[in-house]
Structure formats: C-alpha cells, structure tokens
Amino acid sequence: MTVASAKEDLVSPPVKRRKKFDKQGRLAFWLLLPACVAVFGVIIYPMFRTLVVSLFQVDSALATVTPFVGLGNYLSVLSNSDFWASIGRTFYFTLVSTALELVLGLIVAGLLNAKLKWRWLFRTIVVIPWAIPTIVNAAMWKGIFNAQYGALNALLTQLGIIHSYQAWLGDPNLALNMVILADVWKTVPLVAFFLLAGLTSIPTELYEAAKLDRASWPRIFRSIVLPMLVPSISIVLVLRTVEAFKVFDIIYAMTRGGPIDSTSTVAYFAYETAFSDQNFGIGSAISYIITIFILALSAVYLRLLRRSDLSLL
Amino acid sequence: MKFTSKRLRRAMVGIGIAAVATIIVSGCSVTGASSNAGSAGGNSGTINALFMKQAGYSESDVDAIIKSFEKKYPKITVKPTFVAYEALHDKIVTSAPAGTYDVVHMDVIWPAEFASKGLITNVTKQFPASWKSSMLGGALSSAEYKGQYYGVPWGPSTKLFFYNKAMLAKVGATADDVKTWDGVLAVAKKLKDQGVVKYPLSWSWSQAEALICDYAVMLGAFGGQFTDSSGKLDVNNQAGVEALAWMRKTITDGLTDPASLTFLEDDTDKSMAAGKTAMELNWESTFRDLNDPSISKIVGDAAVSAPPAGPTGVNPGVNGSMALAIPTGSKHKTAAWTFIKYITSEAVQDKYVKSSMTNWKASYTQPTITQSNPEVFAAAGKAYDSMLSRPEVPDYNQVSQILQVDIQKALLGKLSPQAAMDDAVKQANALS
C-alpha cells in the first residue's frame, strides 16, 4: 500500500489524486450511509431520547403535559430503597453467575480440549444450551423447578436427598439462586468456547517443557494455563458481567420478580417502573443509572486486566 | 482521505443537530403524543384486537365470534392477538404511542389509569342509556371512570369456590360443610388427616394480581374493604389483618400447598384438575376446564358455589369483570365500535355462557340460557349480587405491587399480618 501510493504520488499530479479520493470518498459515504442510519435509528436516537425523557416527568405513554424536572428523577431513584435493594440483588446475581460460569466453563473447556475420540461431537452437543432462546430456557427450568411435577423434586426425592417436594421458586431465599442455575446452564457453553479458543492457542511445547521439568498438573495449570488464558478470561469476564448486570428476560419469564421482590433485578425494576407503573421519566433515569454502573464496572475490569502483560485489552 | 472524513464528520454533526432540533420542536411533549390522536375512519377496513388468553372466553370462542361478525359485516376484517393476562396491561401501554390496536381487552382495575392518562377513548356519547340499567352493575364498573364510559363490559366475573365432591365425600363432607371458611378449614383438616390429599387447598398466591384477587375474597368475607370513605388504602384494620392471618394459618397448618406462592389461577386450575387439590378459588370458566376430559382427571367430580362466608356471615366475591375499549391512537374507531357492539351484544354473550357469564341482566331469568350452564349460573348469580372492588385509582398498579409484596411477606412469616398491612398502608398512602 505504501509503496504503491508513493509511486502514484510521483506519477500523477496532485489535483488528479484529490479527485480520485473524492470519488472514493463519495462512494464510501454512500456505502456507509445505511449502516449510519441503522446505528443512529436503533442505538443513538433511542439513547438520546431516553436521556431527554429522563429529565421530564412523563407519567403516561401518551402524556401531553410533561413538566421538566431536571435531575429530579435521578434523585428520587437514588433515594428509593427499593432501587438499592434491586441493585444489591443484581450484584449478587452478577457475581455468583459469572463466577460459576467461569469455573464450570474452564472445566468444560479443559474437557473439550482433551484428545478424545468423537471430540467434534462433544463440542457440538455442548453448544446446544447456548443455542436455546432464553425464553425457552426459562420455561424449561420453570418446569424443572415446578413444585408439583418438576423433575428436580422427583430426582431429589427419589435419591432420598429431600423428603417432600419443595417450591423452589416460591422461597425468597432460594428463588434467585434457582434463576442463577438456569442462567449458568445456558451460558457455560459460551464461556467454555471462549476459554477453549484460549486453550488451543497454548503451544504444546510449553506443556512438554514443563513435563520435562517434572512440574505437577496443578503447577502447570497455575504457571502455564492460567497466565496464558488471561486474555480469554478478561474478555469473558467483561462480557458476562455486563450481560449479567442487565439480566431481564429470564427473570420476566421465570418469576416476574417474586416472591416478595426477591428476584427483582434492577433491569426488571426499571421495566416495571416504566411500563407497568407508567413512570417513563423515572424508568429512563434508572436505565441511565444502570448504564453508569456498567460503565464503571467495565472500567474497573479493564484497568485491572491491563496490568497483566498478556491481556489483549 | 482527509477530505472525506471532514465531510463525514460534517454529515454526522448535521444529523446530530437535526436530532436535537426534532426534540426541541416536539419539546412541548417529550412523548410526541399530541400528533397521535387517532381517527374515526370508515365503518370498514382491518381492525386489530388485543385479547386475553386465560380465563373466560377461549381463543376458539373469540375466533368463532369474529367469523360470524365478519359474515355479518363483510367490509370489516378483525385480526385478533392473544396475550397472557400478566402481559396484557403492559402490552396496551407499550402499543399506545404506535396506535397498534383498535380494540383492547381491559380489566376492571385499569379504567382509572388508562382513562386519566388518555390511553383509551371516551365512548360515553355512543353508550346507550338503556345499557346502564340492563347490564349488571359490577360489570359496568369495568368500563367506567368518574361517571364516564371508556368501553363496553364484556362479561362480569368473580372468583367462585370450587371443590372436589368425590374427595369431600370420602370424609363425609357435603356442600353444606363448605358454606363458611371455618367449615372449609375443618373439611381440609379431615382431608389431610385421613390422607385423601396431601394439601387440600391451593391458591394463586404468586407475586401477581391473582394474589390480590384471592386476598379480596378473604377481605370481603371478614367484612373488610380496601379503601376508606376518602379513597385511602385501609387494610390494616381488624378485617384486613384477620383475613391475612387466616391465609397464613392455612399454610402453617399444612393445609395449603406451599407451591401456591408460585401459582397463578391457571396453575391452581391444573392442580385441581390433576386431583392434587380438593378446594380452590378461581374464575367461572374453571368449571368448564375441570369438566374437560382432555385436561382434567376429575371430570364430573367438580362442584362450584359462591365463595364461602366469613365470620360476619357475608361473602362478597372479588369483582374481576372485564371490558373492551378503543385505544386513543386507533385509526378505525368507527369499525372498532361496530365490532365491540357486536361481540358484547346479548345474543353473542348468551351463546358463550359456558366460557364467560353475560353482563345482560335479562339472561339470568331465561331458563334456556341458565340451563346451558346451571351450576355456574346458580353460584355466580348469587355472587354477583355483592362484589368487592379493588381500589379504583390511577396508580392502582403501584398500590397492588405494594400489597402483593407485603401480603407475601406475611404468608411467608417474614412479617406479622398486622405489621405487613401497616407497611402496605403506609407505603400506598405515601404514593400520591
């Protein structure tokens, strides 16, 4: 590219060159326009509109009188104890689900990386949970956890672990953990595949050298696998934390926030405030606060991970 | 390259300024609502109707009604959409700005909210005065707010008491034994002790409106009401607390299936149809389902009555009537009204009394109609005489959510019934 353009510079006069770029630029502009319109229409405009709405008191989908309240909506959200409770539950969901997914994902990735017969088949099967739509996954787990005919109750009673059927989603101390279980089942494959990509890129020579040095497996894991996986882990962590923090659909389909709000995460709280209570101003303010939380989380992560030499980010 | 990026940047800035300008121009209302007032349209075209997929009229009932309507009015086509009750409210709200629907199915607790927020059309002028006297009062309230009409009632509804005759017979109990809630408790205890069924009672007590409907029945039976004369929530009095304490007691005594806290009406219905529940409160159409051999194992064993009476001897059911309304954004209001008039007419409602009761008083005295669903007519006829209303306030949804959480806290033993109701009253009355 550089050689070619340098040659061109020598041959063609500057005016002609400018014209050519002009033509190319115009083409590029028209080629990019559809993408720009799409991005503007479905990302930038809604975000901007939400920001505007968050500054007004909008208490109807068809409100005609919408007084300007400035940061009033934000202040009322931040002073609402229900909001902070939902933030607490969201952090719990994020922390536990991401941690479980990472640990289980690493184990699954390790198994899929082993030299097995039919490895391609196992790799295909493992992907299935990830391919199931969240709503279907939620309905399926709701069935498994059902207090009267759920498979989990049948399994545990027949194994003699519990003596009577439990209402897994009816106990406020259990419900969120059960939702986490459903989420983990669906997401482990994704995490596993990210980590598998990292595992396959570790040169086999490293393992061989370590074996020659008589390193034990835990030692190899700690000194070779884990450090080499840091780039993959960092991507997965950021991705999953942000995703988990926004969790909505699985909650909507499994528990609708109950019992006693014990599964009402902040995204569900925002939905309820905006669409069920028709407090669109406050609902918009909550969405912006969620965005700020996610930005802060991502920033912390990226900073932590950047310290590692091997990180891609 | 430089030139291009400058141009692009300029274009982007231009788009940005245009966006800001659009917002400022429409700045008087950030929802842009004034531009979507809908229109009457002609008495023809395609109308979109949003229905509930749960109790009452079934999907095939509605499809059959639409078919006969389209035969009578060939210029109008009706496209129905069915959603679960739990999604209905939010669907009406989110579709309002776009004016997607011309007819929506509306619950009795929503007219205050939808009317005061301008989501549905005032039809008082088209509403014949004669309807006000020829329709049941409880059904009328599902379309009325502050003396104005915002729709047409489409079936009164209340929760009735269903029990499994065969199970009751095993412990020697009859219909007379379950005429009061005390009697229900005694029978339930016998059923449990004699091992007829593990949990004789199940309820729709998940964190949803269904819980408030069940609580309403108990509140009424204990002689209470939701609001005081000034419209403030008033459930932390003796009746409100005793009703809740009674509900809690059925759990601690092991008579209520703990799964009830995850149940909606549909789940209690299934539980009873599967023979896992002996007694339940549910809507009228439950009787149809319990006697449908394709989904029920207890065909012929189900019996239905008005809700049992409480210690004060009264038994008002909960008013769960529904209506059909025209959203403000509809562009076919004339055709929508024609359809609503047809589907709510006496002749059509009379034809489907197995699914939903009719709101026309005259039907209740015509033997040909009452004979087609005699058990439910006998039970419902009595129940409709007195029905308890949930608070008719614009922010009902928030009031209901507060009540749902506090009632569940008491049911789970996290708070005493008194503390739970004190908290609910405090929170709800601080709303506005």
CB proximity B414 to A under 8 Å: yes
Long-range pairs of A117-125 with CB within 8 A, sequence gap ≥ 24: A123/A196
Check residue B29 and give its pLDDT: 62
- Which residue in B has a C-alpha nearest to residue A275's C-alpha? B90
Bridge partners, B324 (sequence order):
B105, B152
Check residue A65 and give left, alpha or beta (phi > 0: left; psi -120 to 50: alpha): beta
CB proximity B21 to A under 8 Å: no
pLDDT digits (tens, 9 = 90+) for B51-94: 998 777 888 889 999 999 999 999 999 999 999 988 999 999 99
Check residue B284 and give its pLDDT: 85
Give me A16's structure tokens.
């002609």
Phi/psi of residue B309, nearest 5 degrees: -90, 155
Would you say residue B22 has pLDDT above 70? no
CB proximity B96 to A under 8 Å: yes
pLDDT digits (tens, 9 = 90+) for B37-55: 778 877 788 999 999 987 7
CB proximity A28 to B under 8 Å: yes
Mean pLDDT value across residues B133-160: 87
Integer Cα distance of B346 and B351 in angstroms: 9
Predicted TM-score (pTM) of the model is: 0.85
CB proximity A277 to B under 8 Å: yes
Check residue B2 and give its pLDDT: 45
Check residue A211 and give its pLDDT: 85
Percentage of chain A lying above the pLDDT 90 cut: 38
Residues of A in contact with B32 (CB under 8 A): none
- Which residue in A has a C-alpha nearest to residue B327's C-alpha? A62
Q: Indicate the residue of B33, B206, B328 with minimum beta-carbon distance to A258.
A: B206
What separation in angstroms does the CA of B253 have from each of A24, A154, B57, B192, B218?
80, 24, 36, 10, 17
Residues 6+ apart with CB under 8 A from B197: B167, B191, B275, B276, B277, B278
| DSSP label of A56 | B
Single out the residue of B168, B177, B170, B203 nearest to residue B308, CA to CA. B177
Would you say residue B1 has pLDDT above 70? no
Integer Cα distance of B302 and B295 in angstroms: 13
Mean pLDDT value across residues B10-15: 64
Confidence band for A120, pLDDT divided at 50, 70 and 90: confident
* Radius of gyration of chain A, Cα coordinates, nearest whole angstrom: 26
Q: Indicate the residue of A22, A53, A62 with minimum beta-carbon distance to B117.
A: A62
Q: Indicate the residue of B29, B257, B412 with minimum beta-carbon distance to A66.
A: B29
Topology of domain A72-306 in CATH is: MetI-like fold (1.10.3720)
Integer Cα distance of B54 and B391 in angstroms: 23
Q: Do B262 and A277 touch (CB under 8 A)?
A: no
CB proximity A62 to B under 8 Å: yes
pLDDT digits (tens, 9 = 90+) for A128-175: 999 999 999 999 999 999 888 889 989 998 898 888 888 889 889 899
Which of B1, B2, B30, B113 has the highest number of chain A CBs within 10 A, making it the mutation to test binding with A? B30
Q: Closest approach of chain B CAs to the CA of A305, in angstroms?
A: 33
Percentage of chain B lying above the pLDDT 70 cut: 91
Q: Do A29 and B15 touch (CB under 8 A)?
A: no
Integer Cα distance of B393 and B111 in angstroms: 9
A14 membership: H or E segment, kind and range: helix A14-39
Confidence band for B411, pLDDT divided at 50, 70 and 90: very high
Q: Closest approach of chain A CAs to the CA of B285, in angstroms?
A: 23
- The half-sphere exposure of B234 on its side-chain side, counting CA atoms within 13 A, is 11
Confidence band for A4, pLDDT divided at 50, 70 and 90: very low
Q: Do B31 and A60 touch (CB under 8 A)?
A: yes
CB proximity B89 to A under 8 Å: yes
Integer Cα distance of B145 and A278 in angstroms: 18
pLDDT digits (tens, 9 = 90+) for B282-294: 998 888 889 989 9
Domains of chain B: 45-157+321-388 (3.40.190.10), 160-318+395-429 (3.40.190.10)
Check residue B30 and give its pLDDT: 67
Long-range pairs of A28-34 with CB within 8 A, sequence gap ≥ 24: A28/B4, A29/B4, A29/B7, A29/B8, A29/B11, A32/B8
Q: Do A58 and B398 touch (CB under 8 A)?
A: no
Q: Which of B 260-289 lie inside 8 A of A, CB atoms? A: 260-262, 271, 274, 276
Bridge-based pairing state of the strands B45-52 and B103-107: parallel
Would you say residue A185 has pLDDT above 90? yes
Q: Do B89 and A276 touch (CB under 8 A)?
A: yes
Give me A110's structure tokens.
């390790």
| DSSP label of B307 | P
Would you say residue B207 has pLDDT above 80? yes
Integer Cα distance of B184 and B171 in angstroms: 13
Q: Which of A 79-118 lie inside 8 A of B, CB atoms? A: none
Q: Which of B 197-216 lie inside 8 A of A, CB atoms? A: 206-208
Would you say residue A8 has pLDDT above 50? no
- Burial code (b: 16+ CB inside 10 Å, e: under 16) for A125-149 equals ebeebbeeebeebbebbbebbbbbe
Confidence band for A1, pLDDT divided at 50, 70 and 90: very low
Integer Cα distance of A79 and B430 in angstroms: 15
DSSP letter string over B340-353?
HHHHTSHHHHHHTT
Percentage of chain B lying above the pLDDT 90 cut: 51
Q: Which of A 208-267 lie inside 8 A of B, CB atoms? A: 255-261
